[in-house]
Amino acid sequence: MRLLTIIALIWLLAACSTTPTQPTLYERLGEQEGITTIVDNLLYEIGGNDTLLPFFAATNISRFREKLIEQLCQVSDGPCDYTGDSMAQVHAGMDLNDSHFNALVTDLVAAMDEAGVATGAQNDLLARLVPMYDEVMNPDDYINAEPTDTDANRVTR
Amino acid sequence: MVNRYLSRTLMLLVVLTGLVFNPAWAGSKILATSGATQIEGAAGGGLVPWAIIGGYGSEREWGAAASVTRVGLPDFQLGTAAVHAGINNRFEVSFAQQTLQVDNLAAVLSSPLDGVIEQHVYGAKARLWGDLIYEPWPQVSLGMQHKVNLNPAAGNVLGANSDSGTDWYLSVSKLYLHALFERNLLLNGTFRYTDANETGFLGFGDGSGTDTQWMAEASAGVFLNANWAVGVEYRQKPDRLNLGESDWRDAFVAWFPSKQVTVVGAYTDLGKVALWDDQTGWYLSVQINN
Ligand code: HEM
């Protein structure tokens, strides 16, 4: 029973721990320079990943790099605005499954390790990206839900 | 007895070698998210089965694990050799051969226990909903463990009325990212419908007509980093045979050096087992994954 209490306490603690981080995540990732390193490392990882590489065969890599840097900057509370397309639009028609998603997360973690990002900051970034899972994996749900007018399909972020 | 352990070890070595020298391919689940092997062979913690599907196979992949586990207690040695495989991150099948050995048998010759009680556990599990990490709601799985006790004498003498039984369980697991001191937190709750006495080592039921009961199990673990986790577990147990059967608990350290290897060490408190009080001791499990 004491153990149950401990488990319950840990649960409560987890629910309450808002972690008053002084520096923003953007700063902890090393700001623009650090994020650029992470994305470059990620591109390198993808380049060696047989599961992921085929998806990027026709991709404009310099655009992908630029938009991803913007997105990570914005998501980590940095001074950027993401100007790319919506996650649903970008990933529509790729027919992604969990193996692909896991492969990308694994490569991102490797990219952050390589860039020397601390475990806590890594977890924070992943926690901010994971809510996009549904839109990336089920893009049709989001695109069909938007107005059919093509202009309205442009990003609303 | 020595022969039995030897052949079991040999059999496992063959399986393990096969897994390790498999063409260099690993499933794409995130490191550590296929968990360890609990004592009855299912993917989980040490004592409690979790909702995770065993092996590193994600969607449209498969994965398998083979493990040996020893629990050293003052009056017992519990050993498990187990294999499990997961397909498509949806279904899991498992098999475990368990032995509970009583030490110093000469000193307890008057006891009704055999020197060694062997049990086989055939398991299956299916993920019903959700995802351990990516979806807001937890992963929920339904599992069963069919157990056959090959040395039912002790259980029979103490009042059990069957040498086999089937546990059904519902497990709910979730990994919360950046949850506790910036670390990832795994929580699991399992509800087990069982008629097993001492998980089956002392047989099943007591012929009272209310043999099968719901039991609650829980686990909590924190990932210190990608490779190390620490946590605690609790497993409620019934006391059908009126022997003062204890709930079980443990505190564990898990090490995931790579997707191929999982090592779990724990301090376990199994309380009173059959006629013996204060069965606390160490737990060590070594697992190889393809
Ligand atoms: C939460 C997870 C993900 C995030 C935050 C994300 C983010 C992004 C961003 C910001 C872009 C650039 C958008 C633009 O050009 O306007 C992009 C493009 C792309 N993403 Fe993702 N992505 C995720 C998951 C995935 C996964 C799992 C795959 C699987 C292979 C993938 C494959 C691609 C590809 C191939 C492109 C380039 C598309 C093109 O050629 O235009 N993404 N992603």
CATH code for the domain of A101: 1.10.490.10
Residues of chain B with C-beta less than 8 angstroms from the C-beta of A131: 136
Residue A28 within a domain: yes
CATH number reported for the structural domain that contains residue B254 in this entry: 2.40.160.40
pLDDT at A4 exceeding the cut of 70: no
Question: A67: how many CB neighbours lie within 10 A of its CB?
Answer: 17
* Chain B residues close to A95, C-beta within 8 Å: none
Q: Are B42 and B145 in contact (CB under 8 A)?
A: yes
Q: According to the model, what pLDDT value does residue A155 have?
A: 46
Asked whether residue A50 is assigned to any structural domain, the reply reads: yes
Q: What digits encode the pLDDT tens for the residues B147-196?
A: 999 999 889 988 999 999 999 999 999 999 999 999 999 999 999 999 99
Number of domains in chain A: 1
Cβ-defined contact of B184 to A123 (cutoff 8 Å): yes
**pLDDT exceeds 60 at position A138:** yes
pLDDT of residue B223: 98
* Sign of the C-alpha dihedral computed for residues B187, B191, B194 and B197 taken in this order: positive
Within 10 A of A25 (CB to CB), how many other CB atoms are there? 19
Pick from A1, A123, A133: CB nearest B183: A123
Residues B92 and B81: their CA atoms lie apart, in Å, by 17
Interface predicted TM-score (ipTM): 0.88
**Is A17 inside a domain boundary?**
no
pLDDT for position B209: 74
Q: pLDDT 10s per residue in chain B (290 long)?
A: 445 555 566 566 566 665 555 545 689 999 999 999 999 999 999 999 999 999 999 999 999 999 999 999 998 999 999 999 999 999 999 999 999 998 766 555 565 555 899 999 999 999 999 999 999 999 999 999 999 999 998 899 889 999 999 999 999 999 999 999 999 999 999 999 999 999 999 999 998 877 899 999 999 999 999 999 999 999 999 999 999 999 999 999 999 999 999 999 999 999 998 888 899 999 999 999 99
Give the structural domain span for A48.
Answer: 24-153
Which is higher by pLDDT, B107 or A108?
A108
Residue A152 has pLDDT above 50, yes or no: no
Q: Which residue has the tokens 């529509």?
A: A92
> Using CA atoms, how far apart are residues A12 and A35, in angstroms rounded to an integer?
33
Chain A contact probe: residue of B89, B129, B178 with most A CBs at under 10 A: B178
Per-range mean pLDDT, top range of A69-83, A141-155, B151-165: A69-83
What is the DSSP annotation of B23-58? -S----SPTTTT-EE-TTSSEESSSSB-SSPSSS--
Residues 96-125 of A with CB under 8 A from B: 97-103, 105-106, 109, 119-121, 123-124
Residue at A19 is within a domain = no
**What's the pLDDT at A145?**
66
Residue A16 falls within a domain, yes or no? no
Residue of the CA atom closest to atom 42 of ligand 1: A91
Please compute the mean of the pLDDT values over residues A18-37 and round it to a whole number.
Answer: 88
Burial of A16 (0-12, 13-18, 19+ CB in 10 A): exposed
**pLDDT score recorded for residue A151:** 45
Of A143, A97, A124, A3, which is closest to residue B47 (Cα–Cα)?
A3
pLDDT for position B210: 75
Domain hosting residue B139, numbered range:
2-289
Mean pLDDT confidence for A135-144: 93
Which residue minimizes the CA distance to atom 27 of ligand 1?
A101
Give residue A90 CA to ligand 1 midpoint distance, Å.
Answer: 6
pLDDT at B103: 77
Percent of chain A past pLDDT 90, that is, above it, reads: 76
Q: How many domains does chain B have?
A: 1
The answer to pTM > 0.95 is no
Where does residue B122 rank: exposed (0-12), middle (13-18), buried (19+ CB within 10 A)? middle
So what's the pLDDT on residue A20? 54
- Binding site membership of A101 for ligand 1 (Cβ less than 6 Å): yes
The answer, yes or no, to whether any atom of ligand 1 lies below 6 A from the CB of A122, is: no
What is the DSSP code string of A67-129? HHHHHHHHHTT-S----S--HHHHHTTS---HHHHHHHHHHHHHHHHHTT--HHHHHHHHHHH
Which of chain B's residues have a Cβ under 8 Å away from the Cβ of A102? 28-30, 58
A33 within some domain: yes
